[in-house]
Amino acid sequence: MYAILDIETTGGKFNEEGITEIAVYRYNGQEVVDQLSSLVNPLRDIQPFVERLTGINSKMLVNAPKFFELAKRIVEITEGCVIVAHNAEFDYRILQTEFRRLGYAFQSQSICTVALSQKLLPDAESYKLGNLVRSLGIPITDRHRAHGDALATLELFKLLLEKDSGKEIISTYVKELNKNKVSPKFLNIIEKLPSEIGVYYIHDSEGNIIYIGKSKNIKKRVLSHLTGDNAKAVKIQKKLARASYELCGNECIALLKEQHEIKSNQPVLNHALKYRHFAMGIRLDETTPYHRLIIEPVIHERQYLEVFKNKKDANRKLRIWIDTFELCESQTSLGNPNKACFGHGIKVCKGACVGDESTKAYNKRLENIQNELAYPLSNMLIIDKGKAQGEQSFIYIKESVFQGYGYFKLNHQIKTVEAIEKRLIPIDNNRDTQAVIRSFLRKQRYKKIIDLDTV
């Protein structure tokens, strides 16, 4: 749980400032579940330059609650939370100072979105809140007012959580929560999980991610781990201390995210997906006069037309290609290159197996397979559902190479390549990601495609 915080102050000498406005948004990683926004009577003068900057003056604060009147509510809304603020050291210090004046020792973990942005958005021209969020296409209203800056910080933090593929933010947070304790009741874990599509993370008592999974129904899938009796389920039950999750909005991004983060984090219980999700491939062997289609276990250095989870799926696809493109079975790994194929005997094969067909004509049909597998456009966005109402997702293809994915609410946030790349969560382009995207394109499981060469 996070408490997104912004504070406006009177200005003045160090540790003598008073709060003039405070905004706190309690955020569970998916949605705001509580909020507080209020002017505060600081019982001291406001510096003139601060009045000009914020627009807050002493007359506005005469009838505002004093800090001690808000203190209990602030404790309630931040309880069990990590404080998140832009330049968190300042906001956290001011909050501690006000509580110290009341004789109360306020303590919390904190996260600074300036430091996070410098790490996860290294190419940003400026890390000032207004400049940074505007460059990312995040709307910001009432700049230098607590509620406006806190909301902008919240949207920035959501983007940073997405870009944190190494899961350093959530792992550190879980480690702090689980220090010296492990939750004994799985029921409490299950109750907090959504019945929506996304990626989930199983943490041990040290906060380490020990398993990553994807599901259309996160709650149902985690429940199956906690009630199952297979070897993996038993290991999860022994080590699980907490489960976290990230909603994805659609299955394509969930699959891409799962594959990428398993390879990035190398969880100890994800043996099957640590290295490759699609273990079998069909490659084109061009070393023979008649080019041959070969099914084999994927070898890192080789290029494949398409990859598959198992040999059965690869065989099925090769059979489809043989029928669709009128290929010779003997010129594939399914047949014998030294014998006429069965199709030749029933007059279906054009004779590549016995040398009756020209190599040029035969190999031309193999090119048609490559053309069919290519992305429909060289530069495009594949648009689908987002994680929340009013939000959409995009998958970005640049010069026929997959770049990553992102989310947007307003069309201007994806209007230019620069805007797209600022919202992008990069993912490696590899055979696994290509297979996922091709499958969803082939099945037309998306809302629309935007041709970036025409916008």
- Assign 198 to helix, strand or coil: strand
Last residue of a domain, one of 373, 397, 412: 373
300: nearest Cα among 286, 281, 319, 320 = 281
For residue 310, tell me if it sits in a domain: yes
Residues 298 and 352 in one domain: yes
> Pairing between strand 110-112 and 82-85?
parallel
Rounded Cα distance, 248 and 407, in Å? 9
Residues 343 and 429 in one domain: no
- Output the six-digit token pair for 376: 């429909």
Residues 190 and 207 in one domain: yes
Last residue of a domain, one of 265, 288, 312: 265
What's the structural domain count of the chain?
A: 4
For residue 275, tell me if it sits in a domain: no
165: nearest Cα among 438, 2, 404 = 404
Rounded Cα distance, 294 and 333, in Å? 5
For residue 225, tell me if it sits in a domain: yes
Residues 194 and 313 in one domain: no
Residues 303 and 427 in one domain: no
Average pLDDT, rounded, for the chain: 89
User: Half-sphere exposure (CA, 13 Å, Cβ side) for 78?
Assistant: 24
For residue 400, tell me if it sits in a domain: yes
18-31 pLDDT tens trace: 999 999 999 988 88
pLDDT tens across the length of the chain (455 residues): 899 999 999 988 888 899 999 999 999 888 899 999 999 999 999 999 999 999 999 999 999 999 999 999 999 999 988 899 998 889 998 999 999 899 888 888 888 899 889 888 988 889 999 999 999 988 888 888 999 999 999 999 999 988 887 777 776 665 555 554 444 557 778 878 888 999 999 999 888 999 999 999 999 899 888 888 888 888 998 889 889 999 999 999 999 999 899 988 889 998 755 455 678 999 999 999 999 999 999 887 788 888 888 899 999 999 999 999 999 999 999 999 888 998 888 888 999 999 999 999 999 999 989 888 888 999 999 999 999 889 999 999 999 899 999 999 999 999 999 999 999 999 988 888 888 998 899 888 899 999 999 87
Contact predicate 332/294, CB 8 Å = yes
pLDDT at 452: 93
For residue 427, tell me if it sits in a domain: yes
Rounded Cα distance, 179 and 193, in Å? 21
DSSP string, 27-78: E-SSSEEEEEEEE-B-SSPPPHHHHHHH---HHHHTTSPBHHHHHHHHHHHH
> Pairing between strand 392-398 and 401-408?
antiparallel
> Which domain, by its residues, includes 431?
380-451
For residue 298, tell me if it sits in a domain: yes
- Amino acid present at 325: F
Rounded Cα distance, 105 and 2, in Å? 19
Rounded Cα distance, 161 and 152, in Å? 14
- Output the six-digit token pair for 357: 């067909």
Radius of gyration of the chain (CA): 28
Looking at 239-379, which runs of residues are DSSP E strands?
242-247, 280-285, 292-297, 306-308
Residues 17 and 146 in one domain: yes
Residues 257 and 194 in one domain: yes
Backbone angles phi, psi at 34, to 5 degrees: -165, 155
Residue 406: alpha-carbon gap to chain centroid:
8
- Output the six-digit token pair for 380: 């495009």
Residues 28 and 12 in one domain: yes
Contact predicate 190/226, CB 8 Å = yes
For residue 273, tell me if it sits in a domain: no
> Pairing between strand 448-451 and 380-385?
antiparallel
Q: Interhelix angle for 231-239 vs 218-227, to 10°?
A: 100
Residues 36 and 154 in one domain: yes
Last residue of a domain, one of 163, 186, 215: 163
Residue 341: alpha-carbon gap to chain centroid:
48
CA-angle at 159, arms to 125 and 176, nearest 5°: 110
Looking at 399-447, which runs of residues are DSSP E strands?
401-408, 425-426
The DSSP code for 413 is: G
Residues 369 and 386 in one domain: no
Rounded Cα distance, 243 and 189, in Å? 7
CATH code of residue 258: 3.40.1440.10
The pTM (predicted TM-score) of the whole model is 0.68
Residues 349 and 425 in one domain: no
Q: What strand order describes the sheet that includes 82-85?
A: 32-39, 19-27, 2-9, 82-85, 110-112
Residues 300 and 258 in one domain: no
For residue 209, tell me if it sits in a domain: yes
